[in-house]
Amino acid sequence: MTTAERVRWYARGIGQALITLGVVVLLFCGYELWVTGLYTERQQHDLGRGLDRTWAQAPAPDPRHPLPYQVGKGIARIWFPTLGKDVHYVVVQGVGREDLKKGPGHYPTSARIGAVGNVVISGHRTTYLAPFNRVDELRPGDAIVLETQTFWYTYTVTAETIVKPTAVEVTYPVPGHLGERPTKRLLTLTTCNPKYSAQNRLIVHAVLSTPLAKQPGVVPPALARVVTG
């Protein structure tokens, strides 16, 4: 075999190896984006049905003695009206690996939804249906609505920041101030940043603007066109 033939043989082998690697990468990306999305879509469907059934059958909770949230179970719905009428998800209790495969997860150590303190919710941005894929599009003044059994809680976005994964201070009852007693009703969303990377965390900050008791046919103004339109 001549030197030129040897070079062509090696080049052909390298080319075939690169093609094979490319196919493997594409298959992996397809699994990460499509197959995981199908899994979460099914989980969201089941969680939503269970949540509706529980809300319809269970008596209204006593606000003085609320029942603890159950890890892995649906506890609320989160709506993003400025991102589109179909952008809403069931929030589960917990932020473990298996919890976040089901949908956005509520930090167990953070405030209850609607309560004084900091409600912290984390969600995937690229896999498992990517519930927080577009939260970077939220702007100050936009509404985020959390729906519970008895209330609609409309939070107003105040700011967006990017922090390191170690910046746990964003989850404090008073963000950035460990041990300080909270007086506001806050909401903090956390997700990876940039997309397809866990290098940083994208943080969306919001404050409760309007709690609205649930009544038949009544929805928050932010959801009026989303729910009825």
State both tokens at 106: 């509520």
Region 38-49: what's the mean pLDDT?
96
pLDDT at 143: 97
Region 112-139: what's the mean pLDDT?
96
Alpha-carbon distances, residue 98 vs 39, 102, 130, 218 (angstroms): 11, 7, 15, 35
pLDDT at 139: 97
Give 182-198 pLDDT, tens digit per residue: 999 999 999 999 998 88
Sign of CA dihedral 155, 156, 158, 160: positive
pLDDT at 3: 65
Q: Per the CATH hierarchy, to which homologous superfamily does domain 34-59+70-228 belong?
A: Sortase (2.40.260.10)
Contact 147, 94 (CB under 8 A): no
Q: Which of 109-123, 150-164, 165-179, 214-228 has the lowest mean pLDDT?
A: 214-228
pTM above 0.75, yes or no: yes
What does the alpha-carbon distance between residue 93 and residue 100 come to, in Å, rounded to a whole number?
Answer: 9
Per the prediction, the chain carries an average pLDDT of: 88
Give 53-102 pLDDT, tens digit per residue: 999 998 888 777 888 999 999 999 999 999 988 889 999 999 999 999 99
Sign of CA dihedral 208, 209, 215, 218: negative
Query: What are the residue boundaries of the structural domains of the chain, listed by start?
Result: 34-59+70-228
Indicate the pLDDT class of residue 168, thresholds 50, 70 and 90. very high
pLDDT at 60: 80
